[in-house]
Chain A
């Protein structure tokens, strides 16, 4: 499944510079240094963090998209940076766990 396809299944894109990225698995975490060492390429990364460092960690780990859970808002400067660095950011009204369950169903 690609990131663009995800947005047709109830998740809203905040930035979508590279919608053709495919999603292979899901990683969940809010402690950025931990995510940096443990998320894998092509994961969809679910988090409630939304600062500039999130975009950097997404670039470093090469995840296919970031999903902000619980309807967390994305500051304008972070959004601009994500666009510039080609980082897809989606938002979900659901909490992290329910978002992950939904992805599980979609990716199955």
Chain B
């Protein structure tokens, strides 16, 4: 994938498919690294499935229900001398506290680092496609020239909006502006 945000879309779609009510997408950047965390409270994976999850054949052999998402994210991270790890608790092992957490570390100064790309579009695509599930997004950039802290929680938006569905055009437009303002500041939000 030409942008990390497409990997994020792919992995988060898996979370939604796994029945997650809430998926957290966290991006922590400092001057030289980017840590991506995608954590959901979906059904989780059994130990067996978890072991095979980065083996492309485990997932492609039959129906491709999981897809190449994790193998490709792992490759993208390792190409920058980084790493990816996946932890998961299956619903049958712990009915109260289950889900999957994917973490990937990228070295941004490596020539094979894939740029993050348009993460705002990725979030809007997710909200539009899954208006009834929740997403918590946090992106912090520190240690560079510009410090950025972006935060969006659809649970908070939902509360503020009463019964208006999150995938209404006006709402999506508003979320887009809300995110862009946090990235760019209110003055130069429009481009």
Interface residues of A, Cβ cutoff 8 Å to B: 31-34, 36, 51-53, 55-57, 59-60, 81, 85
- Partner pick for A34 among B2, B55, B57, B71, CB 8 A cutoff: B2
The answer to whether the Cβ of B19 comes within 8 Å of any Cβ in the partner chain is no
CB pair A53 B2 closer than 8 Å = no
Chain A residues whose CB sits within 8 angstroms of the CB of B57 once the complex forms: 55-56, 59, 81, 85
Interface size class for chain B?
Answer: 10 to 19
Residues from 53 to 83 in B contacting A, C-beta threshold 8 Å: 55-57, 60, 64, 68, 71-72, 75
The answer to whether the Cβ of B111 comes within 8 Å of any Cβ in the partner chain is no
Chain A residues whose CB sits within 8 angstroms of the CB of B60 once the complex forms: 56, 59-60
Which secondary structure characterizes the binding site on chain B?
A: helix
Given contacts A32-B75, A51-B75, contact A56 B68 (CB under 8 A): yes
The answer to whether the Cβ of B160 comes within 8 Å of any Cβ in the partner chain is no
C-alpha gap A57/B68 in the complex (Å): 9
A2 to chain B, nearest CB (A): 25
| Chain B CB within 10 A, most for which of A32, A59, A81 | A32
CB pair B68 A36 closer than 8 Å = yes
13 further A-B pairs in the complex, CB-CB below 8 A; given A32-B72, A53-B71, A57-B68 = A32-B68, A32-B75, A33-B1, A34-B1, A34-B2, A51-B75, A53-B56, A53-B75, A56-B56, A56-B57, A56-B60, A56-B68, A60-B64
